[in-house]
């Protein structure tokens, strides 16, 4: 029997795939794809998103397309044969990084051959060029692996089809809270075949470096990008403070573009007055620490009429309470399991993955159990209504919880004059500059 290719049809995979895609989208309050027209319909396509939210990054990319996508993941995940078989079933290849040692890096030659064969057969490949995940509004230095794979593809199939690297950006409202928002944006592709033709050089490095620079630039255009320096965290806090006073309407992409405009203002502030910018960020850091200690969301500071907003939120909270209690009860096995797992996860970025996994693994089982019990104990119409209401309960529970969290934040905000003053002082400094 011929060895099975990673992209070959698999009946079980084809059955599970729509279910996984559905639960991926359900894991987000809003799920948006922008620039899909930039992904070539013909040719060999390598997609390169930023890597900021562990397994959810791959699941979001997977849910974007109806046809097949093969992925690359760090090689140490494949150390156990049983796990390696599961990864192969999931269409995931091992990618060895330089930090894994030169001897191990040589194993990438075999993987590169599989990638080229995958592209040759019209299946796209998704690779995280940063090499590891990090929950930050920036991009880490890009490794060489994606470019070596693309150049190998050009050598083997460049005469018959163009090889493209498509820059992509993943933007989440929150990296750590389940049921946040997800935006995947695709930028203008890099035609690697054409680039090689225009730059006939013998040294591979001479091709990789300009490609790396161009890809980094195009990837950074697809997210709210902040320079990767010691001010990254404080700069992001400042951006949120400024954005809190601006319009929150529009699509996720429109919000991201507004954030990019603010990010550029922040970069200009730093360039114009580095010392003044440093002093400003010290104020921002002090404010953020005090805000977190008081348990107040940044969203509470952006409201023009906080008392009126709080009154509306309070009324809505009361109206939501029966639904929240129902969701809390029927979904309790899921959210209790999620909370138990969440407390044991050291890397907070994996929490959303845990939330997704619990919803996927337990909801079908609970639906069957509840269905049997409901139709045995209740009239059919009440049982049917209960089963229909159970479907969104796990996700509605998290949405209600977030709504109550922000409402409580608004209550706390009312009496915090010191924090209001600190916030206003920082915004005034920014407004005086712009």
Q: Tell me: the pLDDT tens digits for 69-125? A: 999 887 777 777 887 888 888 898 888 755 554 455 555 667 888 899 999 999 999
Q: With a cut of 50, list the residues of the chain below it in pLDDT.
A: 1, 101-102
pLDDT at 98: 56
The tokens for 365 are 């089982």
CB proximity list for 365: less than 8 A, separation 6 or greater: none
Tell me what pLDDT residue 220 has. 97
Instruction: Give dist(CA 367, CA 330) in Å, integer.
Output: 10
How much is the pLDDT for 97? 58
What burial class does residue 417 get, using C-beta atoms within 10 Å of its C-beta: 0-12 exposed, 13-18 middle, 19+ buried? Answer: exposed
Instruction: For 370-421, write each residue's pLDDT tens digit.
Output: 999 999 999 999 999 999 999 999 999 999 999 999 999 999 998 888 999 9
Tell me the whole-structure pTM to 2 decimals. 0.92
DSSP classification of residue 72: E
CA distances from 261 to 5, 175, 192, 216 (A): 45, 21, 30, 19
**Cβ–Cβ under 8 Å, residues 67 and 185:** no
Alpha-carbon gap, residue 426 to 199, rounded angstroms = 49
In 29-83, which ranges are E strands? 30-34, 44-49, 69-74
**Partners of 73 in the beta sheet?**
94
12 Ramachandran zone, left/alpha/beta (phi>0; psi -120 to 50): alpha
Pair 53, 175: CB distance under 8 Å = yes
For the chain, domains (ranges, CATH) are 11-220 (3.40.1130.10), 232-293 (no CATH), 306-415 (no CATH)
Residue 1: the pLDDT is: 44
Q: How far is CA 73 from CA 127, 149, 421, in A?
A: 8, 14, 47
Q: What angle do CA 101, 230, 224 make, to 5 degrees?
A: 90
* Amino acid 2: pLDDT: 52
């Amino acid at each position: 029997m011929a060895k099975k290719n990673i992209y070959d049809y698999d009946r079980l995979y084809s059955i599970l795939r729509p279910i996984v895609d559905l639960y991926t989208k359900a894991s987000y309050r809003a799920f948006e794809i922008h620039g899909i027209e930039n992904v070539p319909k013909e040719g060999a396509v390598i997609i390169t998103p930023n890597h900021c939210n562990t397994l959810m990054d791959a699941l979001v990319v997977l849910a974007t397309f109806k046809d097949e996508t093969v992925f690359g993941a760090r090689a140490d995940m494949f150390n156990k044969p049983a796990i390696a078989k599961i990864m192969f079933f999931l269409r995931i290849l091992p990618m060895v990084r330089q930090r894994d040692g030169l001897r191990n890096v040589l194993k990438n030659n075999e993987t590169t051959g599989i990638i080229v064969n995958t592209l040759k057969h019209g299946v796209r490949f998704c690779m995280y060029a940063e090499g590891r995940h990090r929950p930050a509004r920036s991009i880490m230095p890009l490794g060489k692996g994606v470019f070596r794979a693309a150049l190998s593809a050009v050598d083997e199939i460049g005469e018959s089809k163009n090889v493209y690297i498509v820059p992509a950006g993943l933007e989440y409202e929150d990296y750590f809270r389940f049921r946040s928002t997800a935006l995947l944006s695709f930028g203008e592709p890099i035609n690697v075949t054409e680039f090689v033709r225009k730059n006939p050089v013998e040294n591979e490095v001479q091709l990789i470096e300009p490609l790396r620079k161009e890809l980094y630039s195009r990837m950074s255009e697809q997210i709210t990008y902040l320079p990767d320096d010691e001010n990254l965290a404080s700069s992001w806090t400042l951006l949120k403070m400024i954005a809190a006073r601006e319009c929150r309407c529009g699509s996720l992409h429109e919000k991201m573009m507004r954030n990019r405009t603010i990010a550029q203002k922040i970069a200009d502030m730093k360039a114009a007055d580095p010392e003044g910018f440093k002093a400003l960020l010290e104020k921002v850091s002090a404010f953020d620490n005090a805000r977190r200690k008081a348990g107040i969301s940044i969203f509470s500071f952006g409201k023009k009429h906080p008392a009126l907003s709080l009154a509306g939120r309070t009324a809505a909270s009361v109206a939501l309470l029966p639904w929240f209690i129902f969701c809390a009860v029927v979904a309790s096995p899921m959210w209790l399991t999620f909370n138990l797992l969440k407390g044991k996860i050291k890397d907070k970025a994996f929490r959303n993955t845990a939330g997704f996994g619990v919803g996927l693994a337990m909801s079908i089982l609970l639906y069957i159990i509840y269905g049997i019990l409901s139709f045995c104990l209740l009239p059919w119409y009440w049982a049917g209504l209960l089963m229909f209401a159970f479907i969104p309960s796990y996700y509605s529970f998290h949405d209600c919880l977030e709504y109550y969290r922000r409402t409580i934040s608004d209550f706390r905000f009312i009496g915090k004059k010191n924090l209001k003053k600190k916030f206003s002082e920082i915004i005034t400094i920014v407004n005086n500059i712009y």
